[in-house]
Chain A
Amino acid sequence: MQIEENKNEEFKPCIVAFCCNWCSYAGADLAGSSRLTYPADVKIIRVPCSCRVNPLFILRAFQRGADGVIICGCHPGDCHYTTGNYYARRRMTLLFGMLDYLGIERERTRVEWVSAAEGAKFAATMSDFIDTVTKLGRNRKLRDLRCKE
């Protein structure tokens, strides 16, 4: 599977968003049904819980051409499985620290807690993240050259 690259001259980042089924995925729905707009460059991948996101998923997304990866989960304390997002929080903190340590731009990864009721927050978060990543430009450091066209 290849995340399609926009070949227009103007840089449009490719964003992968891992969204928890119980909150932010519904938040995205709400954003949609409330007719809130956010750029269409976000590819949402639904996961059962933010702690389902294996660091490999994030690296794979970058490998295949993502310019930014965002993980959205339930607010701490609100996890459908009680504690999943607490574990995710530690894992992602460490992983992001490592990516930074390896010289990968730290703004390319983000974790955001978005509940099912926060459609507006979802849209705003995505717009903001896209802005940040757009400023950074194309992800060149964590990319598999074989996947380049």
Chain B
Amino acid sequence: MQRVIDKVKELLANGVADRVLAWKVGEFPYDRIPGVFKDDLDGLCYDSFSACNLSKYLINETKKDGRVLVLMKPCDSYGVNLLIKEHRIDREKIYILAVPCNCKVDIEKIKDSGIKGIIDIAEEGDVLKINTVYGQKELDRRQVLCDKCLSCQGKKHVIYDEIIEDDEQQNIEKTDRMEAVEELEAMSPEERFAFWRSELSKCIRCNACRNVCPACSCNKCIFDNTDTGVAAKSNADSFEENMFHIIRAFHVAGRCTDCGECSRVCPQNIPLHLLNRKFIKEINELYGEFQAGEDAVTTGPLTFFTMEDAEPDVVYKKGRD
């Protein structure tokens, strides 16, 4: 996207920041690595594969001197607000360029469709022209979008200093993000247990979900602290993964911006976002609509209460005939 690169050049030339945090091309046509550029913008890239959420990188970036220009997709901008609210980053030290997003493409889905040995990918409208060592292939990009994009909160940027207006029409059919949660809720407890058992038992405890999460910004995670007695780092027993994922979801409850990174990075494809969305759904239903990261000031639902809050037994009453 030349527009974005030109804008970045212009902003750097104007001196709004001395470096830019963006996506960098990697080994393959679909590798987009978070990276910081100073004078040389060689390799800076924003396209259908720039799926990584850059907001968490701001924690380290703002510890350095000077101001950093950062490219933000709509879904990532919620993370920035959250981090500002929690005093993890200094608003003064960042300059946010909002970039438009027309959903990102999931390389795993491309590969799962049977395409191997990718050398090059070109995008023409909705068509992905993929050049492989096994010949030329074509795919409709709408078939291989990231799951997180299919049910995102839309194209609104919640925080920015400057915006590159969206000139594309959204032509992607979105699904209701709570659909999968509702499907699970409709199951019997035994079915739900079986579902989660089989999903969570795949966990290899690599901590990718935690380390990528903009809401997981503790200096020292409770699961890394040997003094807590829960610092098990193996998947020695089904209980371990249960506990890790329940507690992690609970720690980010009311703070999770639903950016979907946890599920995207999971090497075992565990639908971790379904845990977070359950909390979001409950919070919305019980305590009123709340979107974490919508702004940088509103108190979160778990650090707030009203006298009239529901009693915990609403859980038992729910779905009872």
**A and B in direct contact, judged by CB atoms within 8 A:** yes
Q: Which residues of A are in contact with B by a Cβ distance under 8 Å?
A: 55-56, 59-60, 63, 76-77, 83, 86-87, 89-107, 109-111, 141-146
Tell me if B271 counts as interface (CB < 8 A to partner A): no
Q: Give A86 to B310 CA distance when docked, in angstroms.
A: 10
| CB <8 Å contact, A83 and B193 | no
Instruction: Give the secondary structure class of A's interface.
Output: helix
- Chain B residues near A143: list those with CB within 8 A: 239
Please name the residue on chain B nearest to A76 by beta carbon.
Answer: B307
Q: Which residues of B are in contact with A by a Cβ distance under 8 Å?
A: 184-185, 189-197, 222, 228-230, 236-240, 242-243, 246-247, 249-250, 253, 275, 278-279, 282-283, 286-287, 301-303, 305-307, 309-316, 318
- Chain A residues near B313: list those with CB within 8 A: 110-111
Partner of A110, one of B236, B240, B283, B312: B312
Please name the residue on chain A nearest to B306 by beta carbon.
Answer: A86
Partner of B193, one of A87, A102, A110: A102
| CB <8 Å contact, A103 and B196 | yes
| CB <8 Å contact, B237 and A89 | no
| CB <8 Å contact, B239 and A63 | yes
- Chain A residues near B230: list those with CB within 8 A: 56, 60
| CB <8 Å contact, A145 and B305 | no
Least distance between A55 CB and chain B CB atoms (Å): 5
Least distance between A91 CB and chain B CB atoms (Å): 7
- Chain A residues near B303: list those with CB within 8 A: 87
| CB <8 Å contact, A89 and B189 | no
Please name the residue on chain B nearest to A105 by beta carbon.
Answer: B189
| CB <8 Å contact, A104 and B189 | yes
Least distance between A8 CB and chain B CB atoms (Å): 25
Q: Give A89 to B287 CA distance when docked, in angstroms.
A: 12
* Between-chain CB contacts (< 8 Å), 18 pairs: A56-B247, A63-B239, A83-B305, A89-B305, A89-B312, A90-B302, A92-B312, A94-B253, A94-B282, A97-B282, A98-B250, A101-B278, A103-B190, A106-B189, A106-B316, A111-B311, A141-B193, A145-B239
Evaluate whether A87 and B302 lie within 8 angstroms (CB atoms) in the complex, with A94-B250, A102-B242 already known. Answer: yes
| CB <8 Å contact, A103 and B191 | yes
- Chain A residues near B301: list those with CB within 8 A: 90
Q: Give A38 to B26 CA distance when docked, in angstroms.
A: 66
Evaluate whether A90 and B287 lie within 8 angstroms (CB atoms) in the complex, with A55-B250, A98-B250, A107-B316 already known. Answer: yes
- Chain A residues near B318: list those with CB within 8 A: 97, 100
Least distance between B27 CB and chain A CB atoms (Å): 39
| CB <8 Å contact, A91 and B302 | yes
- Chain B residues near A145: list those with CB within 8 A: 237-239
- Chain B residues near A141: list those with CB within 8 A: 193
Q: Give A92 to B239 CA distance when docked, in angstroms.
A: 20
New contact pairs (15) apart from A94-B279, A94-B282, A103-B196, CB-CB < 8 Å: A83-B305, A86-B306, A93-B310, A94-B250, A94-B283, A100-B189, A103-B194, A103-B195, A103-B197, A106-B316, A111-B312, A111-B313, A141-B193, A145-B237, A145-B239
- Chain B residues near A142: list those with CB within 8 A: 239, 242
Please name the residue on chain B nearest to A85 by beta carbon.
Answer: B305
| CB <8 Å contact, B237 and A98 | no
Partner of B246, one of A59, A76, A146: A59
Give 6 nearest A-B pairs by CB, closest first.
A103-B193, A103-B192, A86-B305, A144-B239, A111-B312, A96-B315
